Structure 1
Amino acid sequence: MAREAITGLVLAGGQGRRMGGQDKGLLTLHGQALAARALQRLAPQVGATALSANRHLADYQALGVPVWPDTLPDQPGPLAGLLTGMTHAQTPWLASVPCDCPDFPTDLVARLAAAAAAQQADLAVAVAPAPDEAGRWAPKLHPVFCMARTALRADLAAYLGQGGRRVRDWLGRHRTVEVAFDDGAAFLNVNTPEDLARRHAG
């Protein structure tokens, strides 16, 4: 699959509750906004990039890519951002990543695309080791690291219109392939001020 067939979307539309309400995409790591870092990492992997955001739109627009607010009210979660991306994208595929994961793999989209093509799937999502509450690492689905056919927009709109919010439940409605990645650290999110401090120190 050619990367020109894929629009890359950085999801930055959350409410940042565990960050005390701060807009996570605009927090800086080593002098660079997290959203800018994600865009920089995603751009070589796709044909075009855009950003899903609901606050501080002018700050995000300054990053030089289209900024798409949710089409649904009340910021109902990452699926709303995905729907907005599907609605605006001019390509048959959309690849999404969260703004708060600064080190996701540089071959993420290529591997998701290859798996989707091989399995004739509608969606491909990443699976990678993640620590549990006891600190043990085990495989975990990372559903916002997702590649989806934009033709699914009507189904996703219907799911959200019925009150659906869980990404996994929506994935289960379609032919979805899970793609295993070995480096779990590449998928670690910056969810709290402590997480961000550790990244600065690392």
Structure 2
Amino acid sequence: MPPSRAQITGLLLAGGRGSRMGGRDKGLVPYRGRPLAAWALERLAPQVGPLLISANRNLAQYRVLGQALGAPVLEDADAERFAGPLAGLLSGLHACGSDWLLSVPCDSPLLPADLAERLAAGLGGAALAVALDAEGRPHPTFCLLRRELAPALADYLASGGRRVMAWQQAQGAALVPFDRPQHAHAFANANDPDELARLEAHTHHHV
């Protein structure tokens, strides 16, 4: 049986450097009047049980964002070295009280409303599932994984590994397509100011 909503904890990954955003904290960049992270949390909340936020700066601001949804803020497992999304994922796995963790990035305000459901259905016995967009590109920070993967992830990080997809493939990740019309802009993100402007221009009628 695929995991149910109650068996899945949601994790917002907000620990990036934001280097392509001029060093700004991407999750706090305004999009249509609210921080990007607020939109992502709002889309994620109905799909999961408990919520967590992983960040390594501006913690007070993320606490305010998470308060309304009862989402505590975790620091990355290796905040000093900015070890990337996997460090945030490890923090989430350590803090997770349920069997499964669903991660999403903080800069994707249109993330799929059926993300948890489709990833859970696509596991097929795997311990980890990753979203593929309509073009077949993987989006490794959109992933559903078992809490039991924490030791394997800790070992990979300790060995200096940082590549999210490489670690996921080593765990036998299931790849789940999101190819319906409603998924057309679901993985659009605001990596830099130009992408943010495109998101603003193209998605008014999608939110």
TM more than 0.5: yes
In structure 2, the gaps of 5 or more residues are 203-207
Q: 1:16-95 maps to which residues of 2 (within 5 A)?
A: 16-63=18-65, 64=67, 65-72=71-78, 73-95=80-102
Match of 2:165 in 1: 168
Give yes or no for the alignment of 1:3 onto 2:2.
Answer: no
User: 1 CA distance for matches of 2:52 and 2:145?
Assistant: 15
CA–CA separation in structure 2 for the residues paired with 1:184 and 1:98? 17
How far apart in 2 are the matches of 1:167 and 1:103?
22
Structure 1 residue runs of 5 or longer lacking an equivalent are: 130-137
Q: TM-score, normalised on structure 2?
A: 0.90
Give the TM-score normalised by structure 1: 0.92
Name the aligned partner's letter for residue 120 of structure 1.
G
Name the amino acid aligned to 1:163: G
Deviation at 1:43, TM superposition (A): 0.3
- In structure 2, the partner of 1:99 is 106
CA distance in 2, matches of 1:6, 1:93: 5
Determine the structure 2 residue equivalent to 1:201.
201
SS in 2 for 1:164: coil
Deviation at 1:184, TM superposition (A): 4.0
Specify which structure has the higher proportion of strand: 1
Matched length: 192
Q: Quick one: distance in 1 between partners of 2:161 and 2:184?
A: 28
Question: Quick one: distance in 1 between partners of 2:171 and 2:18?
Answer: 29
CA distance in 2, matches of 1:170, 1:128: 20
CA distance in 2, matches of 1:83, 1:48: 16
1:104 is displaced (CA, Å) by 1.1
Q: Does 1:189 align with 2:175?
A: no
The match for 1:132 is none
Whether the 8 Å CA contact 2:10–2:48 is kept in 1: the answer is: yes
Amino acid at match of 1:160: L
1:120 is matched with which residue? Answer: 125
- Report Cα offsets for 1:125-153 as digits up to 9, x if no partner: 00113xxxxxxxx3201111000001110
Greater shift, 102-111 or 173-182, is seen at: 173-182
CA distance in 1, matches of 2:98, 2:159: 26
Q: Select 1:149's aligned residue among 140, 146, 150.
A: 146
Report the Cα offset of residue 66 of structure 1.
0.5
